[in-house]
Chain A
Amino acid sequence: KNQVEQSPQSLIILEGKNCTLQCNYTVSPFSNLRWYKQDTGRGPVSLTIMTFSENTKSNGRYTATLDADTKQSSLHITASQLSDSASYICVVTKGNNRLAFGKGNQVVVIP
């Protein structure tokens, strides 16, 4: 079973609307959690990183939250733009320095 589960697998939203992506993980011990944005055909680009003691982190219109007790994270996109169309990947660093990757949330923003 994958240690990092993301939902929804894909979604379509109207330009200007908000959306929230979910990430549930079972990794233990846990060092940090990141969200990456990956445009089609490109490498992932870091949006946020949070350690277990942090519960929110913002990067422009992107806001990530973390609940280390329930092992859940979310990424909220505010006032979506066409350029937000991408795959968003949740990544958890395990205690052995390895990373556990979610399979991504595919977001499509339409005008």
Chain B
Amino acid sequence: DVKVTQSSRYLVKRTGEKVFLECVQDMDHENMFWYRQDPGLGLRLIYFSYDVKMKEKGDIPEGYSVSREKKERFSLILESASTNQTSMYLCASSSPGQGTINYGYTFGSGTRLTVV
């Protein structure tokens, strides 16, 4: 069964800490994405990557950075965590197929991050 694996289900960090959220996919997908999900706001795109060492800003990149050193791994970095970054973080990967872009779009199980 294909998978997108996020390293932590729950995480509690202190304000100002540097936080790493890891995501690994085993589907050989080219595209990987990081979202945050907040009540009433739905999913919002933070960063995405279409290839190794490539990254593009999404809709809300402020306060975040990413790293993609290998095709299967996409990391989200909070340089200095703040309380307004408390959220559910979702990683996803996709690949073209079936004649349409982003056909196999698969999400990880999510990381619930609390910044105190």
Contacts and interface: CB of A to CB of B under 8 A. Distances in A.
Interface stretch (B11-19, B76-84, B95-103): B95-103
Interface residues of B, number: 23
| A contact patch SS | strand
B106 A46 contact: yes
Contacts of B90: 43-44
Interface in B87-113: 88, 90, 98-103, 105-110, 112
B25 to A, nearest CB: 12
B109 A42 contact: yes
7 contacts: A31-B100, A32-B100, A43-B90, A43-B110, A93-B105, A99-B45, A103-B40
Interface of B: 4, 6, 31, 40-43, 45, 88, 90, 98-103, 105-110, 112
